Structure 1
Protein backbone atom coordinates (compact mmCIF):
# COMPACT_ATOMS: atom_id res chain seq x y z
CA UNK A 1 0.00 0.00 0.00
CA UNK A 2 1.07 3.55 -0.77
CA UNK A 3 0.81 6.09 2.05
CA UNK A 4 -1.54 8.78 0.80
CA UNK A 5 -0.36 12.37 0.95
CA UNK A 6 -3.58 14.32 1.19
CA UNK A 7 -2.54 17.12 -1.14
CA UNK A 8 -3.62 17.80 -4.70
CA UNK A 9 -6.52 16.75 -6.90
CA UNK A 10 -8.14 13.32 -6.56
CA UNK A 11 -10.73 12.92 -9.34
CA UNK A 12 -13.78 10.86 -8.44
CA UNK A 13 -13.28 8.85 -11.61
CA UNK A 14 -16.22 8.11 -13.87
CA UNK A 15 -16.82 4.44 -14.59
CA UNK A 16 -16.86 4.22 -18.38
CA UNK A 17 -19.57 1.95 -19.78
CA UNK A 18 -20.37 0.42 -23.16
CA UNK A 19 -23.80 0.95 -24.77
CA UNK A 20 -24.94 -2.36 -23.25
CA UNK A 21 -23.96 -1.00 -19.78
CA UNK A 22 -21.03 -3.37 -19.36
CA UNK A 23 -17.67 -2.03 -18.25
CA UNK A 24 -15.66 -0.36 -21.01
CA UNK A 25 -12.22 -1.54 -19.90
CA UNK A 26 -10.29 0.22 -22.65
CA UNK A 27 -11.94 3.56 -21.87
CA UNK A 28 -11.44 3.10 -18.13
CA UNK A 29 -7.73 2.48 -18.66
CA UNK A 30 -7.34 5.36 -21.10
CA UNK A 31 -9.18 7.71 -18.76
CA UNK A 32 -6.87 6.85 -15.88
CA UNK A 33 -3.81 7.40 -18.08
CA UNK A 34 -5.14 10.80 -19.09
CA UNK A 35 -5.70 11.85 -15.47
CA UNK A 36 -2.23 10.75 -14.39
CA UNK A 37 -0.62 12.47 -17.38
CA UNK A 38 -2.30 15.72 -16.30
CA UNK A 39 -0.89 15.66 -12.81
CA UNK A 40 -3.55 14.33 -10.46
CA UNK A 41 -2.38 13.31 -6.99
CA UNK A 42 -4.51 10.17 -6.81
CA UNK A 43 -7.72 8.62 -8.12
CA UNK A 44 -10.96 7.71 -6.39
CA UNK A 45 -12.69 4.83 -8.15
CA UNK A 46 -16.44 4.31 -7.83
CA UNK A 47 -17.56 7.33 -5.95
CA UNK A 48 -20.96 8.79 -6.77
CA UNK A 49 -19.56 9.84 -10.15
CA UNK A 50 -18.41 6.26 -10.66
CA UNK A 51 -22.00 5.09 -10.11
CA UNK A 52 -20.96 2.85 -7.22
CA UNK A 53 -24.44 1.82 -6.14
CA UNK A 54 -25.41 0.96 -9.74
CA UNK A 55 -22.63 -1.61 -10.19
CA UNK A 56 -22.87 -5.28 -9.32
CA UNK A 57 -20.53 -6.67 -6.64
CA UNK A 58 -18.51 -8.38 -9.37
CA UNK A 59 -18.26 -5.19 -11.44
CA UNK A 60 -17.03 -3.22 -8.44
CA UNK A 61 -14.14 -5.61 -7.86
CA UNK A 62 -13.34 -5.67 -11.57
CA UNK A 63 -13.13 -1.85 -11.65
CA UNK A 64 -10.66 -2.02 -8.76
CA UNK A 65 -8.54 -4.66 -10.50
CA UNK A 66 -8.46 -2.64 -13.72
CA UNK A 67 -7.62 0.53 -11.85
CA UNK A 68 -4.91 -0.99 -9.69
CA UNK A 69 -3.26 -2.66 -12.69
CA UNK A 70 -3.44 0.47 -14.85
CA UNK A 71 -2.19 2.92 -12.25
CA UNK A 72 0.64 0.56 -11.29
CA UNK A 73 1.69 2.47 -8.21
CA UNK A 74 2.13 5.85 -9.89
CA UNK A 75 -0.50 7.52 -7.67
CA UNK A 76 -2.65 6.21 -4.81
CA UNK A 77 -5.83 4.34 -5.71
CA UNK A 78 -8.80 4.93 -3.42
CA UNK A 79 -12.01 2.95 -3.69
CA UNK A 80 -15.44 4.25 -2.89
CA UNK A 81 -17.32 2.09 -0.42
CA UNK A 82 -21.11 2.45 -0.65
CA UNK A 83 -23.09 -0.40 0.85
CA UNK A 84 -26.47 -0.93 2.49
CA UNK A 85 -25.31 -2.83 5.56
CA UNK A 86 -22.32 -3.01 7.88
CA UNK A 87 -21.84 -6.66 6.91
CA UNK A 88 -21.51 -5.81 3.22
CA UNK A 89 -19.32 -2.80 3.93
CA UNK A 90 -16.92 -4.86 6.03
CA UNK A 91 -16.77 -7.57 3.38
CA UNK A 92 -16.05 -5.05 0.64
CA UNK A 93 -13.30 -3.38 2.68
CA UNK A 94 -11.55 -6.72 3.08
CA UNK A 95 -11.82 -7.53 -0.64
CA UNK A 96 -10.56 -4.10 -1.63
CA UNK A 97 -7.53 -4.54 0.62
CA UNK A 98 -6.82 -7.92 -0.97
CA UNK A 99 -6.86 -6.32 -4.43
CA UNK A 100 -4.30 -3.83 -3.20
CA UNK A 101 -5.97 -0.43 -3.21
CA UNK A 102 -4.47 2.21 -0.95
CA UNK A 103 -7.53 3.65 0.74
CA UNK A 104 -11.30 3.73 1.02
CA UNK A 105 -13.70 6.64 0.67
CA UNK A 106 -16.55 5.47 2.88
CA UNK A 107 -20.12 6.63 2.38
CA UNK A 108 -22.62 6.37 5.24
CA UNK A 109 -24.71 3.21 5.13
CA UNK A 110 -27.04 3.65 2.16
CA UNK A 111 -30.86 3.66 2.34
CA UNK A 112 -30.99 4.08 6.15
CA UNK A 113 -30.46 7.37 7.99
CA UNK A 114 -28.44 6.28 11.00
CA UNK A 115 -28.41 8.19 14.27
CA UNK A 116 -25.20 9.38 15.92
CA UNK A 117 -24.45 6.14 17.78
CA UNK A 118 -25.17 4.00 14.72
CA UNK A 119 -23.07 6.24 12.47
CA UNK A 120 -20.04 6.02 14.74
CA UNK A 121 -20.43 2.24 15.07
CA UNK A 122 -20.70 1.82 11.30
CA UNK A 123 -17.57 3.79 10.49
CA UNK A 124 -15.53 2.20 13.26
CA UNK A 125 -16.51 -1.30 12.12
CA UNK A 126 -15.42 -0.52 8.55
CA UNK A 127 -12.15 0.98 9.76
CA UNK A 128 -11.43 -2.12 11.84
CA UNK A 129 -12.09 -4.43 8.87
CA UNK A 130 -8.83 -3.56 7.09
CA UNK A 131 -5.60 -1.66 7.40
CA UNK A 132 -6.56 0.74 4.61
CA UNK A 133 -6.59 4.48 5.14
CA UNK A 134 -10.13 5.79 5.47
CA UNK A 135 -11.49 8.97 3.88
CA UNK A 136 -14.85 9.71 5.51
CA UNK A 137 -17.51 10.95 3.11
CA UNK A 138 -19.57 13.76 4.62
CA UNK A 139 -22.48 14.79 2.40
CA UNK A 140 -25.49 15.42 4.65
CA UNK A 141 -27.53 16.88 1.79
CA UNK A 142 -27.13 13.73 -0.26
CA UNK A 143 -27.22 11.02 2.41
CA UNK A 144 -28.93 12.58 5.43
CA UNK A 145 -26.07 11.89 7.84
CA UNK A 146 -23.83 14.71 9.03
CA UNK A 147 -20.37 13.79 10.32
CA UNK A 148 -20.09 16.65 12.78
CA UNK A 149 -16.88 17.39 14.69
CA UNK A 150 -18.43 15.94 17.84
CA UNK A 151 -19.12 12.62 16.08
CA UNK A 152 -15.59 12.52 14.71
CA UNK A 153 -14.00 12.54 18.17
CA UNK A 154 -14.94 8.92 18.82
CA UNK A 155 -14.32 7.82 15.21
CA UNK A 156 -10.75 9.10 15.35
CA UNK A 157 -9.93 6.53 17.96
CA UNK A 158 -9.45 4.36 14.85
CA UNK A 159 -5.93 5.27 13.65
CA UNK A 160 -6.63 4.55 9.98
CA UNK A 161 -9.42 7.13 9.78
CA UNK A 162 -7.21 9.91 8.47
CA UNK A 163 -9.27 12.26 6.28
CA UNK A 164 -12.75 13.63 5.64
CA UNK A 165 -14.31 14.65 2.33
CA UNK A 166 -16.17 17.72 3.50
CA UNK A 167 -19.31 18.32 1.46
CA UNK A 168 -21.66 20.01 3.90
CA UNK A 169 -21.61 23.14 1.70
CA UNK A 170 -20.64 25.14 4.80
CA UNK A 171 -17.09 26.42 4.56
CA UNK A 172 -17.02 27.26 8.26
CA UNK A 173 -16.82 23.50 8.80
CA UNK A 174 -13.34 23.48 7.23
CA UNK A 175 -12.05 25.91 9.84
CA UNK A 176 -13.87 24.13 12.68
CA UNK A 177 -12.32 20.78 11.72
CA UNK A 178 -8.79 22.13 11.33
CA UNK A 179 -9.03 24.11 14.56
CA UNK A 180 -10.28 21.10 16.50
CA UNK A 181 -8.23 18.26 15.03
CA UNK A 182 -5.17 19.91 13.51
CA UNK A 183 -2.95 17.49 11.60
CA UNK A 184 -4.79 14.44 12.99
CA UNK A 185 -7.47 14.76 10.29
CA UNK A 186 -6.93 15.85 6.70
CA UNK A 187 -9.79 18.03 5.46
CA UNK A 188 -10.50 17.39 1.77
CA UNK A 189 -12.77 19.63 -0.29
CA UNK A 190 -15.58 17.62 -1.83
CA UNK A 191 -17.45 20.38 -3.67
CA UNK A 192 -16.13 21.66 -6.99
CA UNK A 193 -17.61 25.13 -6.64
CA UNK A 194 -16.15 25.65 -3.16
CA UNK A 195 -12.57 24.63 -3.90
CA UNK A 196 -10.86 28.03 -3.82
CA UNK A 197 -12.79 28.99 -0.68
CA UNK A 198 -11.82 25.71 1.00
CA UNK A 199 -8.18 26.02 -0.04
CA UNK A 200 -8.07 29.55 1.38
CA UNK A 201 -9.14 28.07 4.73
CA UNK A 202 -6.50 25.33 4.67
CA UNK A 203 -7.83 22.35 2.71
CA UNK A 204 -4.97 21.09 0.55
CA UNK A 205 -6.72 18.20 -1.21
CA UNK A 206 -9.79 18.04 -3.42
CA UNK A 207 -11.96 15.12 -4.51
CA UNK A 208 -13.40 16.52 -7.72
CA UNK A 209 -16.02 15.44 -10.22
CA UNK A 210 -15.34 17.85 -13.05
CA UNK A 211 -11.59 17.17 -12.86
CA UNK A 212 -12.50 14.18 -15.03
CA UNK A 213 -13.29 16.59 -17.84
CA UNK A 214 -10.58 19.19 -17.17
CA UNK A 215 -7.82 17.58 -15.08
CA UNK A 216 -4.99 19.90 -16.12
CA UNK A 217 -6.96 23.04 -15.33
CA UNK A 218 -8.21 21.60 -12.03
CA UNK A 219 -4.69 20.70 -10.93
CA UNK A 220 -3.51 24.18 -11.87
CA UNK A 221 -6.36 25.82 -9.95
CA UNK A 222 -5.55 24.03 -6.71
CA UNK A 223 -1.83 24.66 -7.14
CA UNK A 224 -2.49 28.40 -7.49
CA UNK A 225 -4.74 28.49 -4.44
CA UNK A 226 -2.42 26.39 -2.28
CA UNK A 227 0.53 28.60 -3.26
CA UNK A 228 -1.38 31.70 -2.19
CA UNK A 229 -1.69 33.17 -5.70
CA UNK A 230 -5.37 33.96 -5.28
CA UNK A 231 -5.39 36.66 -7.96
CA UNK A 232 -4.53 34.08 -10.62
CA UNK A 233 -6.69 31.42 -8.97
CA UNK A 234 -9.74 33.67 -9.07
CA UNK A 235 -9.35 34.32 -12.79
CA UNK A 236 -9.16 30.60 -13.57
CA UNK A 237 -11.95 29.79 -11.10
CA UNK A 238 -14.26 32.29 -12.76
CA UNK A 239 -13.70 30.58 -16.11
CA UNK A 240 -14.51 27.19 -14.58
CA UNK A 241 -17.28 28.06 -12.15
CA UNK A 242 -20.32 27.48 -14.39
CA UNK A 243 -19.05 23.99 -15.18
CA UNK A 244 -18.21 23.37 -11.52
CA UNK A 245 -21.75 24.31 -10.46
CA UNK A 246 -22.95 21.22 -12.35
CA UNK A 247 -21.07 19.05 -9.84
CA UNK A 248 -23.60 19.97 -7.13
CA UNK A 249 -26.71 18.83 -9.04
CA UNK A 250 -28.49 15.50 -8.66
CA UNK A 251 -27.58 14.76 -12.30
CA UNK A 252 -23.88 15.39 -11.80
CA UNK A 253 -23.01 11.96 -13.22
CA UNK A 254 -24.74 12.72 -16.52
CA UNK A 255 -23.26 16.23 -16.64
CA UNK A 256 -19.71 15.09 -15.96
CA UNK A 257 -19.87 12.20 -18.42
CA UNK A 258 -21.25 14.51 -21.12
CA UNK A 259 -18.44 17.01 -20.47
CA UNK A 260 -15.90 14.18 -20.69
CA UNK A 261 -17.45 13.05 -23.95
CA UNK A 262 -17.16 16.51 -25.50
CA UNK A 263 -13.63 17.17 -24.26
CA UNK A 264 -12.01 13.72 -24.36
CA UNK A 265 -14.34 11.52 -26.38
CA UNK A 266 -15.24 9.06 -23.62
CA UNK A 267 -18.65 7.35 -23.61
CA UNK A 268 -21.41 9.19 -21.78
CA UNK A 269 -23.37 5.99 -21.06
CA UNK A 270 -24.99 5.89 -17.61
CA UNK A 271 -26.73 2.98 -15.91
CA UNK A 272 -30.51 3.15 -15.50
CA UNK A 273 -32.42 4.49 -13.71
CA UNK A 274 -30.13 7.33 -14.82
CA UNK A 275 -30.75 8.23 -18.46
CA UNK A 276 -28.66 10.30 -20.90
CA UNK A 277 -29.46 13.98 -21.12
CA UNK A 278 -31.86 15.03 -23.87
CA UNK A 279 -33.52 18.12 -25.25
CA UNK A 280 -33.12 21.54 -23.66
CA UNK A 281 -31.24 20.18 -20.65
CA UNK A 282 -28.64 18.57 -22.88
CA UNK A 283 -28.24 21.72 -24.99
CA UNK A 284 -27.90 23.87 -21.87
CA UNK A 285 -25.17 21.59 -20.53
CA UNK A 286 -23.34 21.55 -23.86
CA UNK A 287 -23.48 25.34 -23.95
CA UNK A 288 -21.83 25.52 -20.53
CA UNK A 289 -19.08 23.13 -21.62
CA UNK A 290 -18.42 25.06 -24.83
CA UNK A 291 -18.38 28.44 -23.08
CA UNK A 292 -15.99 27.09 -20.46
CA UNK A 293 -13.60 25.92 -23.15
CA UNK A 294 -13.84 29.29 -24.90
CA UNK A 295 -13.20 31.18 -21.66
CA UNK A 296 -10.19 28.99 -20.88
CA UNK A 297 -8.80 29.63 -24.35
CA UNK A 298 -9.23 33.37 -23.83
CA UNK A 299 -7.27 33.11 -20.58
CA UNK A 300 -4.40 31.50 -22.48
Structure 2
Protein backbone atom coordinates (compact mmCIF):
# COMPACT_ATOMS: atom_id res chain seq x y z
CA UNK A 1 0.00 0.00 0.00
CA UNK A 2 1.32 3.46 -0.89
CA UNK A 3 2.23 5.51 2.18
CA UNK A 4 2.23 8.91 0.52
CA UNK A 5 2.57 12.01 2.67
CA UNK A 6 4.14 15.43 2.46
CA UNK A 7 4.10 18.08 -0.24
CA UNK A 8 3.20 16.75 -3.70
CA UNK A 9 3.22 19.67 -6.16
CA UNK A 10 0.80 19.48 -9.08
CA UNK A 11 3.46 20.19 -11.68
CA UNK A 12 2.79 22.60 -14.52
CA UNK A 13 3.76 21.38 -17.98
CA UNK A 14 6.15 23.96 -19.38
CA UNK A 15 5.32 25.09 -22.90
CA UNK A 16 6.92 27.17 -25.59
CA UNK A 17 5.10 30.17 -26.99
CA UNK A 18 3.82 28.10 -29.93
CA UNK A 19 2.23 25.56 -27.54
CA UNK A 20 4.86 22.84 -27.94
CA UNK A 21 6.06 21.12 -24.76
CA UNK A 22 9.28 22.59 -23.37
CA UNK A 23 10.69 19.34 -22.06
CA UNK A 24 13.95 20.79 -20.76
CA UNK A 25 12.12 23.44 -18.74
CA UNK A 26 9.68 20.83 -17.40
CA UNK A 27 12.49 18.55 -16.26
CA UNK A 28 14.39 21.47 -14.74
CA UNK A 29 11.32 22.50 -12.76
CA UNK A 30 10.84 18.97 -11.40
CA UNK A 31 14.49 18.78 -10.36
CA UNK A 32 14.13 22.16 -8.65
CA UNK A 33 11.10 20.92 -6.72
CA UNK A 34 12.86 17.79 -5.51
CA UNK A 35 15.97 19.79 -4.63
CA UNK A 36 13.82 21.98 -2.40
CA UNK A 37 12.40 19.09 -0.42
CA UNK A 38 9.06 18.04 -1.86
CA UNK A 39 7.95 14.50 -1.02
CA UNK A 40 6.46 13.56 -4.39
CA UNK A 41 5.52 15.03 -7.75
CA UNK A 42 2.33 14.81 -9.81
CA UNK A 43 2.70 15.41 -13.52
CA UNK A 44 -0.23 16.00 -15.86
CA UNK A 45 -2.65 17.30 -13.24
CA UNK A 46 -5.23 19.86 -14.27
CA UNK A 47 -2.45 22.41 -13.69
CA UNK A 48 -0.38 20.42 -16.18
CA UNK A 49 -3.06 20.99 -18.84
CA UNK A 50 -3.78 17.28 -18.97
CA UNK A 51 -6.97 17.56 -21.01
CA UNK A 52 -5.22 19.47 -23.80
CA UNK A 53 -2.41 16.91 -24.21
CA UNK A 54 -2.37 14.13 -26.81
CA UNK A 55 -1.45 10.65 -25.58
CA UNK A 56 1.99 10.78 -27.20
CA UNK A 57 2.62 14.05 -25.35
CA UNK A 58 1.51 12.52 -22.07
CA UNK A 59 3.92 9.65 -22.66
CA UNK A 60 6.73 12.10 -23.30
CA UNK A 61 6.01 14.03 -20.10
CA UNK A 62 5.75 10.93 -17.88
CA UNK A 63 8.90 9.33 -19.28
CA UNK A 64 10.83 12.61 -18.98
CA UNK A 65 9.61 13.05 -15.41
CA UNK A 66 10.65 9.50 -14.51
CA UNK A 67 14.10 10.21 -15.92
CA UNK A 68 14.66 13.30 -13.78
CA UNK A 69 12.91 11.98 -10.66
CA UNK A 70 15.19 8.92 -10.79
CA UNK A 71 13.51 7.21 -7.85
CA UNK A 72 14.07 10.08 -5.43
CA UNK A 73 10.36 10.61 -4.68
CA UNK A 74 7.10 8.98 -5.81
CA UNK A 75 5.99 9.98 -9.32
CA UNK A 76 2.24 10.24 -9.89
CA UNK A 77 0.36 11.20 -13.01
CA UNK A 78 -2.98 12.86 -13.32
CA UNK A 79 -5.55 10.80 -15.19
CA UNK A 80 -8.47 12.62 -16.80
CA UNK A 81 -10.73 10.87 -19.29
CA UNK A 82 -14.38 10.76 -20.34
CA UNK A 83 -15.21 7.04 -20.59
CA UNK A 84 -14.43 4.16 -18.26
CA UNK A 85 -12.71 2.24 -21.05
CA UNK A 86 -10.49 5.20 -21.92
CA UNK A 87 -9.58 5.74 -18.27
CA UNK A 88 -8.65 2.08 -17.83
CA UNK A 89 -6.55 2.11 -21.01
CA UNK A 90 -4.75 5.27 -19.89
CA UNK A 91 -4.04 3.77 -16.46
CA UNK A 92 -2.34 0.78 -18.08
CA UNK A 93 -0.34 3.00 -20.42
CA UNK A 94 0.76 5.36 -17.66
CA UNK A 95 2.00 2.41 -15.63
CA UNK A 96 4.03 1.28 -18.64
CA UNK A 97 5.40 4.79 -19.14
CA UNK A 98 6.75 4.83 -15.57
CA UNK A 99 4.13 6.44 -13.35
CA UNK A 100 4.06 5.02 -9.82
CA UNK A 101 0.57 6.21 -8.96
CA UNK A 102 -2.44 8.03 -10.34
CA UNK A 103 -4.32 11.12 -9.27
CA UNK A 104 -7.62 10.23 -10.88
CA UNK A 105 -10.32 12.70 -11.89
CA UNK A 106 -13.98 11.74 -12.18
CA UNK A 107 -15.31 11.41 -15.71
CA UNK A 108 -14.77 14.71 -17.49
CA UNK A 109 -17.78 14.24 -19.74
CA UNK A 110 -20.57 13.20 -17.38
CA UNK A 111 -21.53 14.05 -13.81
CA UNK A 112 -21.78 10.61 -12.28
CA UNK A 113 -24.20 9.87 -9.44
CA UNK A 114 -22.86 8.19 -6.26
CA UNK A 115 -23.29 4.62 -7.57
CA UNK A 116 -21.63 5.54 -10.87
CA UNK A 117 -18.83 7.42 -9.14
CA UNK A 118 -17.95 4.39 -7.01
CA UNK A 119 -18.07 2.15 -10.09
CA UNK A 120 -15.78 4.54 -11.99
CA UNK A 121 -13.06 4.37 -9.34
CA UNK A 122 -13.43 0.62 -8.78
CA UNK A 123 -12.97 0.02 -12.51
CA UNK A 124 -9.95 2.27 -12.58
CA UNK A 125 -8.38 0.49 -9.60
CA UNK A 126 -8.85 -2.85 -11.35
CA UNK A 127 -7.25 -1.62 -14.57
CA UNK A 128 -3.63 -1.44 -13.39
CA UNK A 129 -1.40 -2.08 -10.45
CA UNK A 130 -1.03 1.61 -9.65
CA UNK A 131 -2.30 3.06 -6.36
CA UNK A 132 -4.86 5.82 -6.79
CA UNK A 133 -5.43 9.21 -5.21
CA UNK A 134 -8.99 10.39 -5.84
CA UNK A 135 -9.15 13.95 -7.15
CA UNK A 136 -12.18 15.35 -5.34
CA UNK A 137 -12.99 18.81 -6.66
CA UNK A 138 -16.78 19.11 -6.88
CA UNK A 139 -16.54 22.88 -7.40
CA UNK A 140 -14.81 22.37 -10.75
CA UNK A 141 -16.14 18.98 -11.88
CA UNK A 142 -19.57 18.66 -10.29
CA UNK A 143 -18.89 15.28 -8.64
CA UNK A 144 -18.35 15.00 -4.90
CA UNK A 145 -16.72 11.84 -3.56
CA UNK A 146 -18.43 11.97 -0.19
CA UNK A 147 -17.68 9.91 2.93
CA UNK A 148 -20.61 7.70 1.93
CA UNK A 149 -19.11 6.99 -1.50
CA UNK A 150 -15.75 6.29 0.12
CA UNK A 151 -17.50 3.69 2.28
CA UNK A 152 -18.29 1.86 -0.95
CA UNK A 153 -14.64 2.16 -1.99
CA UNK A 154 -13.07 1.16 1.32
CA UNK A 155 -12.80 -2.47 0.18
CA UNK A 156 -10.82 -1.51 -2.92
CA UNK A 157 -7.15 -1.69 -1.83
CA UNK A 158 -5.83 0.25 -4.83
CA UNK A 159 -7.63 3.41 -3.72
CA UNK A 160 -5.30 4.80 -1.09
CA UNK A 161 -5.74 8.57 -0.87
CA UNK A 162 -8.04 11.50 -1.57
CA UNK A 163 -7.18 15.01 -2.65
CA UNK A 164 -9.74 16.96 -0.65
CA UNK A 165 -10.77 20.07 -2.53
CA UNK A 166 -14.39 20.71 -1.58
CA UNK A 167 -13.38 23.98 0.08
CA UNK A 168 -15.31 22.88 3.17
CA UNK A 169 -12.77 22.44 5.95
CA UNK A 170 -15.30 20.35 7.91
CA UNK A 171 -14.96 17.55 5.37
CA UNK A 172 -11.60 16.43 6.77
CA UNK A 173 -13.09 15.73 10.19
CA UNK A 174 -16.06 14.00 8.57
CA UNK A 175 -13.66 11.77 6.59
CA UNK A 176 -11.73 10.76 9.71
CA UNK A 177 -14.90 10.18 11.70
CA UNK A 178 -16.27 7.94 8.94
CA UNK A 179 -13.13 6.09 7.88
CA UNK A 180 -10.32 6.63 10.38
CA UNK A 181 -6.97 6.27 8.63
CA UNK A 182 -8.25 4.12 5.75
CA UNK A 183 -7.62 6.89 3.20
CA UNK A 184 -4.64 9.23 3.23
CA UNK A 185 -6.06 12.73 3.20
CA UNK A 186 -4.28 15.39 1.15
CA UNK A 187 -5.25 19.05 1.22
CA UNK A 188 -5.91 20.15 -2.34
CA UNK A 189 -6.38 23.88 -1.71
CA UNK A 190 -3.32 26.03 -1.10
CA UNK A 191 -5.14 28.55 1.09
CA UNK A 192 -6.42 25.83 3.46
CA UNK A 193 -3.21 23.95 4.20
CA UNK A 194 -2.66 25.10 7.78
CA UNK A 195 -6.29 24.51 8.69
CA UNK A 196 -6.29 21.12 6.96
CA UNK A 197 -3.20 19.91 8.78
CA UNK A 198 -4.59 21.09 12.10
CA UNK A 199 -7.47 18.68 11.44
CA UNK A 200 -5.24 15.78 10.43
CA UNK A 201 -4.38 16.02 6.72
CA UNK A 202 -1.05 14.29 6.06
CA UNK A 203 -0.31 15.62 2.57
CA UNK A 204 -0.67 18.62 0.32
CA UNK A 205 -1.27 18.62 -3.43
CA UNK A 206 -0.13 22.16 -4.05
CA UNK A 207 -0.13 24.56 -6.98
CA UNK A 208 1.98 27.44 -5.71
CA UNK A 209 4.70 25.03 -4.59
CA UNK A 210 5.72 25.18 -8.26
CA UNK A 211 6.89 28.74 -7.62
CA UNK A 212 7.94 28.56 -3.95
CA UNK A 213 8.83 24.97 -3.04
CA UNK A 214 11.17 25.78 -0.16
CA UNK A 215 8.65 28.01 1.57
CA UNK A 216 5.74 25.62 1.04
CA UNK A 217 7.75 22.70 2.40
CA UNK A 218 8.63 24.87 5.39
CA UNK A 219 4.96 25.57 6.10
CA UNK A 220 4.12 21.88 5.79
CA UNK A 221 6.97 20.70 7.98
CA UNK A 222 6.17 23.22 10.72
CA UNK A 223 2.54 22.11 10.73
CA UNK A 224 3.52 18.43 10.68
CA UNK A 225 5.63 19.10 13.79
CA UNK A 226 2.66 20.74 15.49
CA UNK A 227 4.30 24.18 15.31
CA UNK A 228 1.27 25.96 13.93
CA UNK A 229 2.09 29.28 15.60
CA UNK A 230 5.51 29.25 13.94
CA UNK A 231 3.94 28.45 10.55
CA UNK A 232 1.28 31.13 10.81
CA UNK A 233 3.40 34.16 9.88
CA UNK A 234 4.70 32.58 6.67
CA UNK A 235 1.26 31.21 5.86
CA UNK A 236 -0.33 34.62 6.22
CA UNK A 237 2.40 36.19 4.10
CA UNK A 238 1.80 33.71 1.29
CA UNK A 239 -2.00 33.48 1.47
CA UNK A 240 -2.66 36.26 -1.08
CA UNK A 241 -0.62 34.25 -3.58
CA UNK A 242 -2.26 31.02 -2.41
CA UNK A 243 -5.66 32.54 -3.21
CA UNK A 244 -4.59 32.56 -6.88
CA UNK A 245 -4.62 28.74 -6.75
CA UNK A 246 -8.41 28.73 -6.33
CA UNK A 247 -9.27 30.80 -9.42
CA UNK A 248 -10.51 29.34 -12.71
CA UNK A 249 -7.33 30.73 -14.32
CA UNK A 250 -5.00 29.12 -11.81
CA UNK A 251 -2.90 27.63 -14.63
CA UNK A 252 -2.08 31.06 -16.04
CA UNK A 253 -1.67 32.53 -12.56
CA UNK A 254 0.69 29.87 -11.26
CA UNK A 255 2.73 29.84 -14.44
CA UNK A 256 3.05 33.61 -14.09
CA UNK A 257 4.32 33.09 -10.54
CA UNK A 258 6.91 30.60 -11.79
CA UNK A 259 7.92 33.03 -14.53
CA UNK A 260 8.48 35.91 -12.10
CA UNK A 261 10.12 33.83 -9.36
CA UNK A 262 12.62 31.81 -11.41
CA UNK A 263 12.13 32.51 -15.10
CA UNK A 264 10.04 29.54 -16.21
CA UNK A 265 7.94 30.09 -19.33
CA UNK A 266 4.47 31.49 -18.70
CA UNK A 267 2.87 30.05 -21.85
CA UNK A 268 -0.29 27.95 -21.81
CA UNK A 269 -2.12 26.01 -24.50
CA UNK A 270 -5.26 27.44 -26.10
CA UNK A 271 -8.06 27.87 -25.28
CA UNK A 272 -6.14 29.27 -22.31
CA UNK A 273 -4.62 32.58 -23.41
CA UNK A 274 -1.89 34.76 -21.87
CA UNK A 275 -3.00 37.20 -19.20
CA UNK A 276 -3.59 40.77 -20.36
CA UNK A 277 -4.65 44.15 -19.05
CA UNK A 278 -5.84 44.75 -15.51
CA UNK A 279 -5.98 41.02 -14.72
CA UNK A 280 -2.32 40.58 -15.66
CA UNK A 281 -1.39 43.62 -13.58
CA UNK A 282 -3.32 42.26 -10.59
CA UNK A 283 -1.61 38.87 -10.72
CA UNK A 284 1.85 40.40 -11.17
CA UNK A 285 1.16 42.73 -8.24
CA UNK A 286 0.19 39.89 -5.89
CA UNK A 287 3.19 37.78 -6.90
CA UNK A 288 5.64 40.68 -6.78
CA UNK A 289 4.43 41.63 -3.30
CA UNK A 290 4.94 38.05 -2.15
CA UNK A 291 8.45 37.99 -3.62
CA UNK A 292 9.29 41.23 -1.80
CA UNK A 293 7.78 40.08 1.48
CA UNK A 294 9.69 36.80 1.37
CA UNK A 295 12.94 38.65 0.65
CA UNK A 296 12.32 40.93 3.63
CA UNK A 297 11.56 37.92 5.82
CA UNK A 298 14.80 36.25 4.77
CA UNK A 299 16.74 39.42 5.46
CA UNK A 300 15.30 39.66 8.96
CA UNK A 301 16.25 36.06 9.63
CA UNK A 302 19.86 36.56 8.44
The question of a shared fold, defined as TM-score above 0.5 by the shorter chain, is answered with yes
Q: Is 2:122 the counterpart of 1:119?
A: no
Name the CA distance, whole Å, in 1 between partners of 2:247 and 2:280.
14
- 1:127 CA drift (Å): 0.5
113-122 or 243-252, which deviates more: 113-122
1:76-129 C-alpha deviation (Å, 9 max, x unpaired): 000000001111100000011112211000000002111111111111100000
In structure 1, the partner of 2:27 is: 29
In structure 2, the partner of 1:268 is: 266
In structure 2, the partner of 1:53 is: 51
DSSP-derived class of the 2:274 partner? coil
DSSP-derived class of the 1:13 partner? coil
> Which residues in structure 2 correspond to 1:149-164 (within 5 Å)?
149-164=147-162
Does the 8 Å contact 2:6/2:203 carry over to 1? yes
Name the CA distance, whole Å, in 1 between partners of 2:130 and 2:16.
31
Name the CA distance, whole Å, in 2 between partners of 1:86 and 1:57.
16
Structure 2 residues not aligned, in runs of 5+: none
Does the 8 Å contact 1:52/1:80 carry over to 2? yes
Q: Is 2:212 the counterpart of 1:214?
A: yes
Does the 8 Å contact 1:4/1:102 carry over to 2? no
How high is the TM-score relative to the length of structure 1?
A: 0.98
In structure 1, the partner of 2:282 is: 284
Name the CA distance, whole Å, in 2 between partners of 1:40 and 1:178.
25
> Which residues in structure 2 correspond to 1:1-300 (within 5 Å)?
4-300=2-298
Does the 8 Å contact 1:78/1:104 carry over to 2? yes
- 1:4 CA drift (Å): 4.1
Q: Aligned-pair RMSD on alpha carbons? A: 0.9
* Paired residues, number: 298
Name the CA distance, whole Å, in 1 between partners of 2:94 and 2:111.
25
Name the CA distance, whole Å, in 2 between partners of 1:269 and 1:176.
39
- 1:182 CA drift (Å): 1.6
Structure 1 residues not aligned, in runs of 5+: none
243-252 or 19-28, which deviates more: 19-28
